Chain A
Amino acid sequence: MKAAVIVFPGSNCDRDIAIALEQSMGKPPAMVWHRDSELPKVDLIAVPGGFSYGDYLRCGAMAAHSPIMREVKRAAEKGTRILGICNGFQVITEAGLLDGVLMRNKDLRFICKDVHLRVEDAKSPFTAGYKKDEVIRVPIAHAEGNFFTDEDTLKRIEDKGMVAFRYATPEGDVTQDANPNGSLNNIAGIFNDKRTVLGMMPHPERLSDPTLGGTDGRKMFDGLVEALS
């Protein structure tokens, strides 16, 4: 598997995701600067977390229109897998690769803590390393992760099984108490309808090495490598 990581001014999880990918791929991904207008030929493009363009206007809005994102969208149309994490989720959503929008957290606070996620779908390459209904522990670190969309779109997302992860209790129950940010239906990550694009607020790359306190995130990258190699 070959991968690329997009780097915007203000990205701050680009190296974390690069290390996590290298660990699973056995070779480093290509790092692609936002002003570049050419993408190397890859199987996976990761859009990392951070505060691209200082989160001006709306989170991810400016980055979504940077030169490299035109190429990312073109690659997405051809079926290249796209993974957006945290700010990367906001960027690819603003770019129109996914439905909905990430709004300010319900209680207005920046939340940085480990949460539990229930894996809703294990058939995509992104989630191939997990089992359906498996509960994993992954950190979140965001102020705008409150997933919102209109009723019709939410119904379509649910009917088509486009939810990848939901915030849940350690036992796997999807409850309001387990919902850290007010996201509709506890949605922590969604696919596009072809399951070639995944956006998620939690950071699997931050729990992909025992030194970091856990390895639940690593299964995502191992699963991707196995599915896309």
Chain B
Amino acid sequence: MKARVHITLKNGVLDPQGKAVEHALHGLGFGGVSGVRQGKFIELNLTSTDRVAAKKEVEDMCRALLANTVIENYAVEVVD
């Protein structure tokens, strides 16, 4: 079983990296771009065969290490 984790900055947290990417895109002529926010995508394999338990386990991982909940949100998706 595989899990996919998206880690994104919470609303209201400044994202200077996203801003820099946005400026670079404008520089390349993509003028219609705004609100660029940069996050992380983590994929991991699990030995668990129980989807509910697997999701809970990955959410525990997010709180323990993968995300810093002061500034980041996480979303876990379990796929076969």
Contact = CB atoms under 8 A, between A and B. Distances in A.
Contact of B65 (A57, A105, A148): A57
Contacts of B66: 57
Interface in A45-104: 57-58, 61-62, 65, 94, 100-101, 103-104
B64 to A, nearest CB: 7
B47 to A, nearest CB: 21
B39 interface: no
A65 B17 contact: no
Contacts of A58: 68
A150 interface: yes
A107 B68 contact: no
- What secondary structure prevails in chain A residues at the interface with B? loop
Interface string B9-21: 0000110110010
Nearest to B42: A57
Contacts of B17: 104, 108
B71 A104 contact: no
A62 B65 CA distance: 8
A21 B13 CA distance: 37
Interface of A: 57-58, 61-62, 65, 94, 100-101, 103-108, 148-150, 182
